[in-house]
Amino acid sequence: MANPTAAMLVIGDEILSGRTRDANMHFLAGELTKHGIDLKEVRIVSDDRPAIVAAVKALSDAHDTVFTSGGIGPTHDDITADCIAAAFDAAIDIRDDARAILQAHYDKTGLELNAARLRMARIPEGATLIDNPVSMAPGFTIGNVHVMAGVPSVFQAMVASVLPTLTGGAPLLSQTLRVFRGEGDIAELLSQLADRFSDLSIGCYPFQKEGAFGANIVIRGSDGARVDAAMTELAKELDT
Determine the Cα–Cα distance for residues 72 and 138; give it in Å rounded to an integer.
9
The SS3 assignment for 169 reads coil
Other Cβ atoms less than 10 A from the Cβ of 199: the count is: 10
Q: Tell me the pLDDT tens digit for each residue of 178-192.
A: 999 889 999 999 999
The band of 240, judged by pLDDT with boundaries at 50, 70 and 90, is: low
pLDDT average, residue stretch 214-239: 93
pLDDT digits (tens, 9 = 90+) for 13-51: 999 999 999 999 999 999 999 999 999 999 999 999 999
The pTM score is 0.86
pLDDT-derived band at 139 (thresholds 50, 70, 90) equals very high
Please report which confidence band the pLDDT of residue 158 belongs to, taking 50, 70 and 90 as the band edges: very high
| CA–CA distance, 59 with 83 (Å, rounded to integer) | 14
What average pLDDT does range 209-233 have in this prediction? 91
CA angle 90, 49, 142 (to 5 degrees): 35
Q: What angle (nearest 5°) sits at the alpha carbon of residue 202, between those of residues 198 and 208?
A: 160
Rounded to an integer, the average pLDDT of 204-224 is 90
Q: Are 105 and 136 in contact (CB under 8 A)?
A: yes
Q: Are 43 and 10 in contact (CB under 8 A)?
A: yes
For the cut 80, the answer to whether the pLDDT of residue 210 exceeds it is no
Phi then psi for 13, rounded to 5 degrees?
A: -60, -30
Between the alpha carbon of residue 59 and those of residues 26, 138, 175, the distances in Å are 19, 22, 30
Half-sphere exposure of residue 3: CA atoms within 13 angstroms, side-chain side: 20
Q: What is the mean pLDDT of the chain?
A: 95
CATH number of 173-238: 3.30.70
pLDDT surpassing 90 at residue 212: no
Angstrom distance (rounded) from CA 70 to CA 78: 8
pLDDT value of residue 209: 79
pLDDT at 95: 96
Sequence-distant (6+) residues with CB within 8 A of 98 are: 120, 121, 122, 123, 129, 138
- The DSSP secondary structure of 117-162, one letter per residue, reads HHGGGEEETT-EEE--TTT---EEEETTEEEE-SSHHHHHHHHHHH
The domain segmentation of the chain, as residue ranges, is: 5-165, 173-238
Task: Dump pLDDT digits (tens) for 74-125.
Answer: 999 999 999 999 999 999 999 999 999 999 999 999 999 999 999 999 999 9
Please say whether the beta carbons of 128 and 90 come within 8 A: no
Q: Measured in Å, how far apart are the chain's first and last C-alpha atoms?
A: 34
120: nearest Cα among 142, 138, 106 = 138
Task: Using the predicted structure, report yes or no on whether residue 60 has a pLDDT greater than 70.
Answer: yes
Confidence (pLDDT) at 103 = 96
- Topology adopted by domain 5-165: Molybdenum Cofactor Biosythetic Enzyme; Chain A (3.40.980)
